[in-house]
Amino acid sequence: MSPSTVWAILFPDRLREWIQFLLLKLGLQSGPIALNILKGMFDTLLLFFLGLGLLNGSRVYMEGQYALPRATQGMVLKWAPIADHIARKTDIPREVPLVLWLKENSMRAINPDNCTGIIGAYDLVRSGEHPCFTPGPISDVAVAEQLVIGATEFKKRCPDITYLTQDSELIQHCYLAYNAGAGAAARLDPERSAYVMNNYDASYTNMVYSDVELGTVQVTSLGAWPAHLAIQSLIVSQVDGSDKPFSMTLLDLATRFYDWLSYQLSPQALFFGDDRRLEMPLVRSLDLAECLGQAHTFGHISLRPSLNPVGDKPLLTQDIHGCSYGLPGLDISSDNGRALLQAPMPGEVTTYTDRWYNTTIRIENDEWIVWLLHPRSYLVEQGKVRRGQAIGVMGAVGYATGPHVHYAVYDKVSEVFVDPSLFVP
Protein backbone atom coordinates (compact mmCIF):
# COMPACT_ATOMS: atom_id res chain seq x y z
CA MET A 1 0.00 0.00 0.00
CA SER A 2 1.49 3.33 -1.06
CA PRO A 3 1.89 6.30 1.34
CA SER A 4 -0.63 8.34 -0.64
CA THR A 5 -3.24 5.59 -0.24
CA VAL A 6 -2.64 5.45 3.53
CA TRP A 7 -2.89 9.25 3.73
CA ALA A 8 -6.19 9.18 1.82
CA ILE A 9 -7.62 6.56 4.15
CA LEU A 10 -6.58 8.39 7.32
CA PHE A 11 -7.52 11.86 6.10
CA PRO A 12 -10.34 11.81 3.52
CA ASP A 13 -11.06 14.95 1.54
CA ARG A 14 -13.95 16.13 3.75
CA LEU A 15 -11.87 15.75 6.92
CA ARG A 16 -8.97 17.73 5.42
CA GLU A 17 -11.34 20.50 4.30
CA TRP A 18 -12.92 20.68 7.76
CA ILE A 19 -9.50 20.92 9.46
CA GLN A 20 -8.41 23.71 7.09
CA PHE A 21 -11.66 25.62 7.71
CA LEU A 22 -11.32 25.24 11.50
CA LEU A 23 -7.72 26.47 11.46
CA LEU A 24 -8.64 29.51 9.37
CA LYS A 25 -11.63 30.24 11.61
CA LEU A 26 -9.38 30.22 14.68
CA GLY A 27 -6.69 32.24 12.96
CA LEU A 28 -4.20 29.40 13.14
CA GLN A 29 -1.70 28.26 10.54
CA SER A 30 -0.89 24.63 9.89
CA GLY A 31 2.83 25.22 9.35
CA PRO A 32 3.63 26.69 12.80
CA ILE A 33 1.39 24.08 14.46
CA ALA A 34 3.27 21.21 12.86
CA LEU A 35 6.59 22.86 13.73
CA ASN A 36 5.62 23.29 17.39
CA ILE A 37 4.45 19.69 17.57
CA LEU A 38 7.82 18.55 16.25
CA LYS A 39 9.60 20.80 18.77
CA GLY A 40 7.54 19.32 21.60
CA MET A 41 8.40 15.79 20.47
CA PHE A 42 12.07 16.74 20.27
CA ASP A 43 12.02 18.30 23.77
CA THR A 44 10.36 15.20 25.19
CA LEU A 45 12.96 12.92 23.62
CA LEU A 46 15.74 15.24 24.79
CA LEU A 47 14.43 15.14 28.37
CA PHE A 48 14.16 11.35 28.24
CA PHE A 49 17.68 10.85 26.87
CA LEU A 50 19.06 13.42 29.32
CA GLY A 51 17.69 11.38 32.23
CA LEU A 52 18.94 8.17 30.64
CA GLY A 53 22.31 9.79 30.05
CA LEU A 54 22.60 10.88 33.67
CA LEU A 55 21.74 7.37 34.79
CA ASN A 56 24.23 5.71 32.46
CA GLY A 57 26.78 8.45 33.07
CA SER A 58 26.83 7.80 36.80
CA ARG A 59 27.17 4.09 36.18
CA VAL A 60 29.99 4.57 33.64
CA TYR A 61 31.81 6.83 36.13
CA MET A 62 31.50 4.17 38.82
CA GLU A 63 32.70 1.47 36.44
CA GLY A 64 35.59 3.60 35.21
CA GLN A 65 36.73 5.07 38.51
CA TYR A 66 36.31 2.05 40.77
CA ALA A 67 35.62 -0.83 38.36
CA LEU A 68 32.29 -1.54 40.05
CA PRO A 69 30.32 -3.67 37.54
CA ARG A 70 26.62 -3.13 36.94
CA ALA A 71 25.70 -6.48 38.42
CA THR A 72 27.61 -5.57 41.58
CA GLN A 73 25.83 -2.21 41.77
CA GLY A 74 22.49 -4.02 41.64
CA MET A 75 23.55 -6.35 44.46
CA VAL A 76 24.69 -3.38 46.56
CA LEU A 77 21.30 -1.69 46.19
CA LYS A 78 19.48 -4.93 46.99
CA TRP A 79 21.48 -5.66 50.14
CA ALA A 80 22.05 -2.11 51.43
CA PRO A 81 19.10 -2.18 53.93
CA ILE A 82 20.16 -5.55 55.40
CA ALA A 83 23.81 -4.46 55.60
CA ASP A 84 22.75 -1.24 57.34
CA HIS A 85 20.78 -3.19 59.97
CA ILE A 86 23.70 -5.54 60.59
CA ALA A 87 26.14 -2.62 60.81
CA ARG A 88 23.98 -0.75 63.34
CA LYS A 89 23.78 -3.82 65.57
CA THR A 90 27.52 -4.46 65.31
CA ASP A 91 28.47 -0.76 65.47
CA ILE A 92 30.56 -0.60 62.30
CA PRO A 93 30.13 1.56 59.14
CA ARG A 94 27.22 0.39 57.03
CA GLU A 95 29.35 -0.21 53.93
CA VAL A 96 31.65 -2.72 55.65
CA PRO A 97 29.54 -5.94 55.36
CA LEU A 98 29.12 -5.37 51.62
CA VAL A 99 32.82 -4.52 51.14
CA LEU A 100 33.85 -7.74 52.89
CA TRP A 101 31.49 -9.75 50.69
CA LEU A 102 32.81 -7.99 47.57
CA LYS A 103 36.45 -8.47 48.53
CA GLU A 104 36.17 -12.10 49.59
CA ASN A 105 33.74 -13.49 47.02
CA SER A 106 32.82 -10.79 44.44
CA MET A 107 29.30 -10.53 45.96
CA ARG A 108 28.33 -13.97 44.68
CA ALA A 109 25.93 -16.07 46.76
CA ILE A 110 28.14 -19.13 46.34
CA ASN A 111 30.38 -20.60 49.03
CA PRO A 112 33.85 -21.29 47.60
CA ASP A 113 35.44 -24.74 47.74
CA ASN A 114 37.91 -23.80 50.49
CA CYS A 115 35.20 -23.87 53.21
CA THR A 116 35.74 -20.22 54.26
CA GLY A 117 32.38 -18.88 53.04
CA ILE A 118 31.58 -15.68 51.19
CA ILE A 119 33.27 -13.52 53.84
CA GLY A 120 36.63 -15.34 53.88
CA ALA A 121 36.46 -16.66 57.45
CA TYR A 122 39.84 -18.40 57.26
CA ASP A 123 40.75 -18.18 60.96
CA LEU A 124 37.29 -19.19 62.19
CA VAL A 125 37.23 -22.34 60.06
CA ARG A 126 40.85 -23.37 60.60
CA SER A 127 40.62 -22.91 64.37
CA GLY A 128 37.48 -25.04 64.50
CA GLU A 129 35.47 -22.17 65.94
CA HIS A 130 33.10 -22.45 62.95
CA PRO A 131 32.44 -25.54 60.82
CA CYS A 132 33.15 -25.59 57.10
CA PHE A 133 30.81 -23.39 55.07
CA THR A 134 29.41 -26.01 52.69
CA PRO A 135 30.60 -25.15 49.15
CA GLY A 136 27.95 -24.27 46.59
CA PRO A 137 25.04 -21.84 46.10
CA ILE A 138 23.40 -20.47 49.26
CA SER A 139 20.10 -18.75 50.06
CA ASP A 140 19.55 -15.10 50.96
CA VAL A 141 19.15 -16.18 54.59
CA ALA A 142 22.57 -17.84 54.56
CA VAL A 143 24.11 -14.76 52.92
CA ALA A 144 22.73 -12.50 55.66
CA GLU A 145 23.96 -14.90 58.34
CA GLN A 146 27.50 -14.81 56.94
CA LEU A 147 27.41 -11.01 56.72
CA VAL A 148 26.64 -10.99 60.45
CA ILE A 149 29.63 -13.27 61.11
CA GLY A 150 31.93 -11.06 59.02
CA ALA A 151 30.68 -7.88 60.72
CA THR A 152 31.18 -9.39 64.18
CA GLU A 153 34.73 -10.48 63.34
CA PHE A 154 35.49 -7.05 61.84
CA LYS A 155 34.38 -5.31 65.05
CA LYS A 156 36.32 -7.79 67.18
CA ARG A 157 39.55 -7.05 65.31
CA CYS A 158 38.97 -3.29 65.27
CA PRO A 159 37.00 -2.31 68.41
CA ASP A 160 37.69 1.43 68.00
CA ILE A 161 35.50 1.74 64.90
CA THR A 162 31.80 2.73 65.16
CA TYR A 163 28.77 3.03 62.92
CA LEU A 164 29.45 6.78 62.48
CA THR A 165 33.21 6.51 61.79
CA GLN A 166 34.35 8.52 58.76
CA ASP A 167 38.10 8.62 59.50
CA SER A 168 39.70 7.15 56.38
CA GLU A 169 42.92 6.13 58.16
CA LEU A 170 41.03 4.20 60.84
CA ILE A 171 38.76 2.48 58.31
CA GLN A 172 41.76 1.47 56.17
CA HIS A 173 43.53 0.15 59.26
CA CYS A 174 40.44 -1.90 60.18
CA TYR A 175 40.27 -3.50 56.73
CA LEU A 176 43.92 -4.48 57.09
CA ALA A 177 43.20 -5.92 60.54
CA TYR A 178 40.35 -8.01 59.12
CA ASN A 179 42.59 -9.36 56.38
CA ALA A 180 45.90 -9.82 58.21
CA GLY A 181 44.87 -9.91 61.89
CA ALA A 182 44.99 -7.24 64.58
CA GLY A 183 48.63 -8.00 65.45
CA ALA A 184 49.90 -7.70 61.90
CA ALA A 185 47.82 -4.58 61.28
CA ALA A 186 49.58 -2.85 64.19
CA ARG A 187 52.95 -3.34 62.42
CA LEU A 188 51.93 -2.79 58.77
CA ASP A 189 50.95 0.31 56.80
CA PRO A 190 47.50 0.04 55.14
CA GLU A 191 48.72 2.14 52.20
CA ARG A 192 51.21 -0.60 51.33
CA SER A 193 48.50 -3.27 51.38
CA ALA A 194 47.03 -4.40 48.07
CA TYR A 195 44.02 -5.76 49.98
CA VAL A 196 43.25 -2.23 51.19
CA MET A 197 44.41 0.19 48.48
CA ASN A 198 44.69 -1.52 45.08
CA ASN A 199 43.14 0.49 42.20
CA TYR A 200 42.50 3.52 44.42
CA ASP A 201 44.29 5.64 41.80
CA ALA A 202 47.13 5.38 39.28
CA SER A 203 49.78 5.09 42.00
CA TYR A 204 47.99 2.12 43.60
CA THR A 205 47.77 -0.26 40.65
CA ASN A 206 48.70 -3.93 40.32
CA MET A 207 50.08 -3.98 43.85
CA VAL A 208 51.93 -7.02 45.21
CA TYR A 209 49.86 -9.17 47.59
CA SER A 210 51.00 -12.04 49.80
CA ASP A 211 48.55 -14.61 51.06
CA VAL A 212 48.77 -18.13 52.49
CA GLU A 213 46.35 -19.32 49.81
CA LEU A 214 47.64 -17.41 46.77
CA GLY A 215 51.30 -16.89 47.62
CA THR A 216 52.81 -13.62 46.34
CA VAL A 217 51.02 -12.20 43.31
CA GLN A 218 50.21 -8.93 41.59
CA VAL A 219 46.51 -8.23 41.97
CA THR A 220 44.08 -6.38 39.72
CA SER A 221 40.96 -6.56 41.90
CA LEU A 222 39.53 -3.56 43.71
CA GLY A 223 40.99 -2.81 47.15
CA ALA A 224 38.80 -2.55 50.23
CA TRP A 225 39.15 1.24 50.56
CA PRO A 226 38.17 2.18 46.96
CA ALA A 227 35.41 -0.45 47.20
CA HIS A 228 34.22 1.25 50.41
CA LEU A 229 34.15 4.65 48.66
CA ALA A 230 32.34 3.26 45.62
CA ILE A 231 29.67 1.50 47.69
CA GLN A 232 29.27 4.55 49.93
CA SER A 233 28.78 6.81 46.90
CA LEU A 234 26.26 4.44 45.36
CA ILE A 235 24.20 4.15 48.55
CA VAL A 236 24.24 7.91 49.19
CA SER A 237 23.16 8.76 45.65
CA GLN A 238 20.64 5.96 45.11
CA VAL A 239 19.18 5.05 48.51
CA ASP A 240 19.54 7.91 51.00
CA GLY A 241 17.65 10.63 49.10
CA SER A 242 14.07 11.33 50.13
CA ASP A 243 13.16 11.61 46.45
CA LYS A 244 14.34 8.42 44.86
CA PRO A 245 16.26 8.99 41.60
CA PHE A 246 15.16 7.68 38.24
CA SER A 247 17.58 4.75 38.45
CA MET A 248 15.89 3.38 41.60
CA THR A 249 12.51 3.51 39.86
CA LEU A 250 13.93 1.58 36.92
CA LEU A 251 15.53 -0.94 39.26
CA ASP A 252 12.28 -1.45 41.17
CA LEU A 253 10.26 -1.92 37.97
CA ALA A 254 12.86 -4.28 36.52
CA THR A 255 12.92 -6.35 39.73
CA ARG A 256 9.13 -6.60 39.86
CA PHE A 257 8.97 -7.62 36.20
CA TYR A 258 11.74 -10.21 36.69
CA ASP A 259 9.94 -11.75 39.69
CA TRP A 260 6.66 -11.88 37.78
CA LEU A 261 8.28 -13.40 34.69
CA SER A 262 10.21 -15.93 36.77
CA TYR A 263 7.01 -17.09 38.44
CA GLN A 264 5.22 -17.39 35.10
CA LEU A 265 8.02 -19.58 33.76
CA SER A 266 8.63 -21.57 36.93
CA PRO A 267 6.76 -21.19 40.23
CA GLN A 268 9.80 -22.66 41.99
CA ALA A 269 11.76 -19.53 41.02
CA LEU A 270 10.07 -17.65 43.84
CA PHE A 271 11.37 -20.01 46.52
CA PHE A 272 14.45 -18.17 47.72
CA GLY A 273 14.85 -19.70 51.17
CA ASP A 274 16.17 -22.76 52.90
CA ASP A 275 13.65 -25.64 53.15
CA ARG A 276 15.46 -27.87 55.63
CA ARG A 277 13.31 -30.49 57.33
CA LEU A 278 11.88 -30.17 60.81
CA GLU A 279 11.92 -33.61 62.41
CA MET A 280 8.49 -34.32 63.96
CA PRO A 281 7.92 -37.16 66.46
CA LEU A 282 6.30 -40.29 65.09
CA VAL A 283 3.61 -40.11 67.81
CA ARG A 284 2.32 -36.65 68.67
CA SER A 285 0.33 -35.75 71.77
CA LEU A 286 -2.17 -33.10 70.74
CA ASP A 287 -4.32 -32.84 73.85
CA LEU A 288 -5.22 -29.23 73.06
CA ALA A 289 -5.73 -29.76 69.35
CA GLU A 290 -9.43 -28.87 69.63
CA CYS A 291 -8.38 -25.28 68.99
CA LEU A 292 -7.09 -26.31 65.54
CA GLY A 293 -9.13 -26.73 62.38
CA GLN A 294 -8.81 -28.24 58.92
CA ALA A 295 -6.79 -26.20 56.40
CA HIS A 296 -8.36 -25.52 53.01
CA THR A 297 -6.92 -27.60 50.18
CA PHE A 298 -7.41 -25.45 47.12
CA GLY A 299 -6.16 -21.92 46.58
CA HIS A 300 -3.08 -20.17 45.24
CA ILE A 301 -0.06 -22.40 45.81
CA SER A 302 2.20 -19.34 45.59
CA LEU A 303 0.54 -17.89 48.73
CA ARG A 304 0.70 -21.02 50.87
CA PRO A 305 3.24 -21.19 53.75
CA SER A 306 5.83 -23.74 52.64
CA LEU A 307 9.15 -22.93 54.35
CA ASN A 308 10.39 -23.56 57.85
CA PRO A 309 10.77 -20.11 59.48
CA VAL A 310 14.02 -21.30 61.09
CA GLY A 311 16.05 -22.28 58.04
CA ASP A 312 19.26 -23.20 59.86
CA LYS A 313 19.13 -26.71 61.43
CA PRO A 314 15.59 -26.39 62.85
CA LEU A 315 14.58 -28.34 65.95
CA LEU A 316 11.11 -28.90 67.42
CA THR A 317 11.27 -27.54 70.98
CA GLN A 318 7.59 -27.82 71.93
CA ASP A 319 4.64 -29.29 70.02
CA ILE A 320 1.20 -27.68 69.66
CA HIS A 321 0.42 -25.31 72.55
CA GLY A 322 -0.92 -21.79 73.02
CA CYS A 323 -4.66 -22.52 72.74
CA SER A 324 -5.21 -20.83 76.09
CA TYR A 325 -4.04 -17.48 74.78
CA GLY A 326 -5.47 -17.86 71.29
CA LEU A 327 -2.31 -18.42 69.23
CA PRO A 328 -1.73 -22.19 68.94
CA GLY A 329 1.49 -23.24 67.30
CA LEU A 330 4.93 -24.86 67.53
CA ASP A 331 8.13 -23.74 69.25
CA ILE A 332 11.07 -24.10 66.86
CA SER A 333 14.72 -23.59 67.74
CA SER A 334 18.08 -24.28 66.09
CA ASP A 335 20.95 -26.42 67.28
CA ASN A 336 23.13 -23.38 66.61
CA GLY A 337 21.24 -21.59 69.40
CA ARG A 338 20.69 -18.55 67.21
CA ALA A 339 19.53 -18.27 63.61
CA LEU A 340 18.08 -15.92 61.04
CA LEU A 341 14.33 -16.20 60.48
CA GLN A 342 12.93 -16.39 56.96
CA ALA A 343 9.46 -15.57 55.66
CA PRO A 344 7.53 -18.87 55.22
CA MET A 345 5.35 -17.21 52.55
CA PRO A 346 5.01 -13.94 50.63
CA GLY A 347 2.82 -11.19 52.07
CA GLU A 348 2.64 -7.97 54.07
CA VAL A 349 4.77 -7.96 57.21
CA THR A 350 4.11 -5.93 60.36
CA THR A 351 5.95 -6.01 63.70
CA TYR A 352 4.69 -5.15 67.17
CA THR A 353 4.95 -6.01 70.87
CA ASP A 354 1.94 -7.89 72.26
CA ARG A 355 0.37 -7.54 75.71
CA TRP A 356 2.78 -10.14 77.12
CA TYR A 357 5.70 -8.03 75.82
CA ASN A 358 6.60 -10.54 73.13
CA THR A 359 8.26 -9.12 70.04
CA THR A 360 6.08 -10.35 67.19
CA ILE A 361 6.47 -10.65 63.41
CA ARG A 362 3.18 -11.03 61.52
CA ILE A 363 2.88 -11.82 57.78
CA GLU A 364 -0.46 -11.82 55.94
CA ASN A 365 -1.56 -12.45 52.38
CA ASP A 366 -4.96 -13.12 50.79
CA GLU A 367 -5.29 -16.65 52.22
CA TRP A 368 -3.00 -17.03 55.24
CA ILE A 369 -1.61 -15.27 58.32
CA VAL A 370 1.50 -16.46 60.16
CA TRP A 371 2.97 -15.24 63.47
CA LEU A 372 6.53 -15.54 64.77
CA LEU A 373 6.59 -14.73 68.49
CA HIS A 374 9.53 -13.45 70.55
CA PRO A 375 12.31 -13.23 67.99
CA ARG A 376 15.30 -11.34 69.35
CA SER A 377 15.00 -8.70 66.61
CA TYR A 378 13.47 -8.13 63.19
CA LEU A 379 14.96 -6.94 59.90
CA VAL A 380 11.77 -5.68 58.21
CA GLU A 381 9.31 -3.52 60.15
CA GLN A 382 6.56 -3.34 57.55
CA GLY A 383 5.92 -3.76 53.84
CA LYS A 384 5.99 -6.60 51.34
CA VAL A 385 8.26 -9.61 51.81
CA ARG A 386 9.07 -12.55 49.55
CA ARG A 387 9.10 -16.19 50.51
CA GLY A 388 12.51 -17.00 52.00
CA GLN A 389 13.45 -13.36 52.66
CA ALA A 390 15.35 -12.78 55.89
CA ILE A 391 12.95 -11.05 58.31
CA GLY A 392 14.44 -11.41 61.80
CA VAL A 393 16.86 -13.05 64.20
CA MET A 394 15.87 -15.82 66.58
CA GLY A 395 17.13 -15.67 70.15
CA ALA A 396 14.89 -15.10 73.18
CA VAL A 397 16.38 -14.97 76.66
CA GLY A 398 14.82 -16.27 79.88
CA TYR A 399 12.52 -18.97 78.49
CA ALA A 400 12.74 -22.50 79.83
CA THR A 401 13.11 -23.90 76.33
CA GLY A 402 15.96 -21.54 75.42
CA PRO A 403 16.18 -19.44 72.24
CA HIS A 404 13.28 -20.30 69.97
CA VAL A 405 10.40 -18.84 67.99
CA HIS A 406 6.70 -19.66 68.40
CA TYR A 407 5.19 -20.31 64.96
CA ALA A 408 1.41 -20.08 64.39
CA VAL A 409 -0.60 -20.35 61.14
CA TYR A 410 -4.14 -19.04 60.54
CA ASP A 411 -6.24 -20.09 57.55
CA LYS A 412 -8.27 -17.05 56.38
CA VAL A 413 -10.37 -19.15 53.99
CA SER A 414 -11.45 -21.75 56.60
CA GLU A 415 -11.25 -19.11 59.39
CA VAL A 416 -9.36 -21.43 61.78
CA PHE A 417 -5.87 -21.90 63.20
CA VAL A 418 -4.17 -24.95 61.70
CA ASP A 419 -1.32 -27.26 62.66
CA PRO A 420 1.95 -25.56 61.50
CA SER A 421 3.65 -28.93 61.09
CA LEU A 422 1.60 -29.36 57.92
CA PHE A 423 3.37 -26.34 56.40
CA VAL A 424 7.04 -27.05 57.07
CA PRO A 425 9.16 -29.38 54.90
If you write DSSP's letter for every residue of 292-359 in order, what string do you get? B-PPPS-S-GGGS--S-SB-SSEEEEEEEE-GGGT--EEEEEETTS-EEEE-SS-EEEEEEE-TT--E
Give me the pLDDT at residue 271, please. 38
Q: Round to whole Å and give the CA distance between 70 and 251.
A: 12
Q: Round to whole Å and give the CA distance between 364 and 105.
A: 35
**CA R_g for the chain:** 28
What's the CATH fold of domain 71-247?
Lysozyme (1.10.530)
- Would you say 363 and 345 are in contact if contact means Cβ atoms under 8 Å apart? yes
**DSSP H or E run through 125:** helix 122-126
Give me the pLDDT at residue 264, please. 46
What global pTM score does this model have? 0.47
Instruction: Give the angle subtended at the CA of 271 by the CAs of 269 and 277, to the nearest 5°.
Output: 140
pLDDT in tens, the chain (425 residues): 666 666 666 667 767 666 666 655 555 555 555 656 666 665 565 555 555 554 444 544 544 556 677 788 888 888 888 888 888 888 999 999 999 999 999 899 999 998 989 998 888 888 888 889 999 998 887 888 899 999 999 999 999 999 888 888 999 999 999 988 887 777 888 888 888 888 888 888 878 877 656 667 777 788 889 999 989 888 877 665 545 555 555 555 554 454 445 444 443 333 345 666 777 777 776 655 678 888 887 778 788 898 889 877 788 888 888 887 788 999 998 876 667 889 999 999 998 887 766 789 999 999 999 999 988 888 887 889 988 888 888 765 444 446 788 999 999 998 999 999 888 87
Give me the pLDDT at residue 288, please. 54
Q: Round to whole Å and give the CA distance between 207 and 192.
A: 8
**DSSP H or E run through 276:** none
Give me the pLDDT at residue 240, please. 58
Pick the CATH number of 291-423 from 3.40.50.2000, 3.30.70.270, 1.10.10.10, 2.70.70.10: 2.70.70.10
Query: For the chain, which residues make up each domain, given as ranges?
Result: 20-64, 71-247, 291-423
Would you say the CATH fold of 291-423 matches that of 71-247?
no
Give me the pLDDT at residue 31, please. 58
